[in-house]
């Protein structure tokens, strides 16, 4: 919350509330020595240590003033003063403001802002918003309060965004995770956005290539083709897939067994999975739409559904990822209770103590701009003479500027290049491999992230469920990457595009599992150089604008900033690259210190492909 003239003017507002109480210890208005000091310091050098210390001290005073205003309970006089701080960048100020509003008899006029604060990234702000909604006279808040978990926590540290690798798909721009509910315990990761519903539907239809349907029509999408076979065909396919369970890890066995149970209830009794019951409530969700987001490779039944709806309680567009069954949601996406960090109470104002704190910060940095800022703010301060002497010494030690170099003579113009001779494009190359009567083909050359249209022929043993996969060269036959069933003796399947490198397309039979054909493929890079990330000069708390280039261009590529030395399995503020190979994105500001920018890919496995040191200046 860097102080500006506007922020300081807002900070001075509570003075009017105490005009009839001259003995109040919280004047915070014109004539208050701390506010006057902050104006002078931040006007002289907005990025100096002096201004940063003034910012911290004024924040402490604001928090104390807000809590005092809330304790008085005088809504008609103080409500607007408190409301001015509900959107403050500082977490402790927001938490104090919403706690104060909760003591000022909140009513329907407060419901919109409290509803937004209920989903704040900071737990202490959410807890204050929940308490305020519980005290509100607006009956419309009751369903929202019932929907929230009772203990949001009291941490002032913002909750991290969900791990992009665990979600399994990218998110539309502007999506905010719902943080105040316990939905994740029911296998749901819900979001809200200011985009309209059609924009959300179009985003996921484009991402998956599947059409969204009304919830009653989703039943057909839940039943795989093999489960629609007549007579014993269904049970034979079911038995074959159940046999696969024995070769899987125990946690996957539990998930897939539950999925089989859902399928049997659906096929034999027409009963939708219990996880979808909540979504039938049209009063809460309206006439929502759904589409298949991910499919379990063993059962071939959806493992994730996307549901798009109008979140009527929050008055915003909503969408949710529903895991089927609920227990298959990654445990890291189910929030726990954060350690409590309470709002610090302000110290009593002592001008001498304030000046001492400021002087310590100036000496710690020892920069000319800090000494100058101190003198501008406190020309008669206790350390003015020391500040002037230090400033004069720094100026005397500074090297004289170098003279400007003489301009170099202009070179003669280069001769015009000869006209280019257009070379006809080479016909596409077809890669082919045949083993044991099974043929695999692929039109080349293949560029990075280009979908792979793989042709096949000779897969005559349909009962052994043939399938194709693409995997990095050298991967053991017991491992595979993206894959798809072939569904026929001859035809084609489309596998997802891959990063540049050497790969192998393999055809497998099951029972027993064996590779019956292989096709070597080289995916060619279209980049002009190696992947790279960078950022310009960044100061503490400022948003970090990251430039990236030569990334693969997958929809789930992402970039993060982490403290220096953290392992690659940890990350901080992050954002998707939106499938771009080159561009910029913005990450949340960080405290001063040493960091590293990292670019991650998820396919064929999570990996850092670019990194760059970053120093965040004070």
The 10s digit of each residue's pLDDT in 266-311 is 877 788 899 999 898 888 888 899 999 988 887 888 899 999 999 9
pLDDT of residue 365: 63
Per-residue buried b or exposed e for 571-608, using 16+ beta carbons within 10 Å of the residue's own CB: bbbbbbbebebeeebebbbbeeeebbbbbbbbbbeeee
Chain centre distance of CA 327: 23
Would you call 550 exposed, middle or buried from its count of C-beta atoms within 10 A (0-12, 13-18, 19+)? buried
In which residue ranges of the chain is pLDDT below 70?
Answer: 1-36, 39, 231-232, 235, 246-247, 336-358, 360-362, 364-365, 369-370, 373-374, 376-378, 398-428
- Provide the 10 A C-beta neighbour count for residue 299: 24
40 touches 9 (CB < 8 A): no
pLDDT of residue 578: 76
pLDDT of residue 496: 83
Q: How far apart are CA 573 and CA 559, in angstroms?
A: 8
* Model pTM score: 0.54
Q: How far apart are CA 221 and CA 225, in angstroms?
A: 9
pLDDT of residue 9: 42
pLDDT of residue 108: 92
97 touches 88 (CB < 8 A): yes
């Amino acid at each position: 919350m860097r102080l500006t003239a506007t922020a300081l003017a807002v900070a001075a507002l509570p003075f009017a509330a105490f005009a009839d109480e001259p003995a109040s210890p919280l004047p915070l208005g014109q004539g208050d020595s701390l506010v006057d000091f902050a104006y002078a310091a931040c006007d002289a050098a907005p990025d100096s240590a002096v201004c940063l210390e003034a910012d911290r001290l004024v924040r402490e005073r604001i928090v104390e003033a807000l809590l005092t205003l809330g304790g008085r309970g005088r809504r008609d006089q103080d409500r607007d003063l408190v409301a001015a701080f509900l959107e403050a960048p500082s977490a402790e100020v927001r938490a104090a403001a919403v706690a104060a509003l909760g003591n000022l008899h909140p009513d329907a006029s407060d419901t919109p802002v409290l509803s937004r604060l209920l989903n704040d990234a900071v737990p202490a702000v959410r807890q204050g918003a929940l308490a305020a909604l519980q005290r509100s006279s607006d009956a419309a808040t009751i369903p929202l309060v019932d929907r929230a978990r009772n203990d949001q926590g009291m941490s002032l540290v913002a909750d991290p965004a969900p791990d992009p690798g665990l979600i399994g798909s990218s998110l539309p721009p502007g999506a905010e995770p719902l943080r105040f509910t316990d939905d994740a315990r029911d296998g749901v990761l819900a979001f809200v956005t200011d985009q309209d519903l059609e924009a959300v539907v179009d985003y996921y239809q484009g991402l998956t290539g599947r059409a969204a349907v009304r919830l009653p029509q989703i039943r057909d999408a839940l039943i795989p083709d093999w489960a629609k076979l007549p007579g014993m065909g269904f049970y034979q396919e079911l038995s074959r897939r159940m046999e696969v369970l024995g070769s899987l890890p125990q946690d996957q066995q539990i998930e897939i067994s539950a999925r089989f149970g859902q399928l049997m209830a659906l096929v034999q009794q027409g009963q939708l999975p219990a996880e979808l019951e909540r979504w039938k409530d049209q009063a809460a969700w309206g006439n929502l739409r759904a589409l298949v987001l991910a499919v379990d490779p063993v059962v071939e039944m959806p493992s994730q559904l996307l549901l798009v709806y109008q979140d009527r309680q929050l008055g915003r567009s909503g969408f949710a990822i529903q895991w089927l069954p609920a227990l298959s949601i990654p445990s890291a996406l189910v929030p726990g209770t954060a350690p409590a960090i309470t709002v610090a109470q302000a110290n009593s104002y002592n001008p001498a103590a304030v000046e001492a704190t400021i002087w310590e910060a100036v000496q710690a940095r020892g920069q000319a701009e800090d000494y100058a800022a101190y003198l501008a703010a406190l020309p008669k301060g206790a350390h003015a003479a020391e500040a002037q002497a230090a400033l004069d010494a720094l100026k005397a030690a500074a090297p004289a500027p170098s003279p400007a170099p003489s301009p170099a003579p202009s070179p003669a113009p280069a001769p015009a290049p000869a006209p280019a001779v257009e070379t006809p494009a080479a016909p596409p190359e077809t890669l082919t491999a045949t083993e044991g009567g099974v043929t695999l083909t692929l039109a080349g050359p293949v560029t990075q992230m280009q979908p792979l249209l793989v042709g096949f022929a000779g897969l005559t043993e349909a009962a052994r469920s043939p399938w194709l996969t693409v995997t990095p060269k050298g991967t053991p036959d017991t491992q595979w990457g993206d894959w798809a069933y072939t569904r026929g003796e001859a035809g084609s399947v489309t596998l997802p595009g891959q990063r540049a490198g050497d790969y192998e397309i393999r055809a497998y039979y099951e029972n027993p599992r064996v590779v019956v054909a292989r096709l070597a493929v080289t995916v060619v890079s279209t980049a002009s150089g190696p992947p790279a990330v960078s950022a310009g000069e960044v100061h503490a708390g400022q948003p970090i604008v990251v430039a990236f280039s030569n990334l693969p261009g997958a929809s789930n590529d992402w970039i993060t900033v982490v403290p220096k030395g953290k392992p690659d399995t940890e990350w901080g503020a992050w954002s998707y690259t939106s499938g771009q190979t080159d561009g910029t994105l913005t990450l949340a500001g960080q405290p001063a210190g040493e960091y590293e920018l990292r670019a991650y890919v998820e396919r064929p496995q999570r990996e850092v492909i670019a990194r760059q040191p970053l120093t965040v200046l004070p």
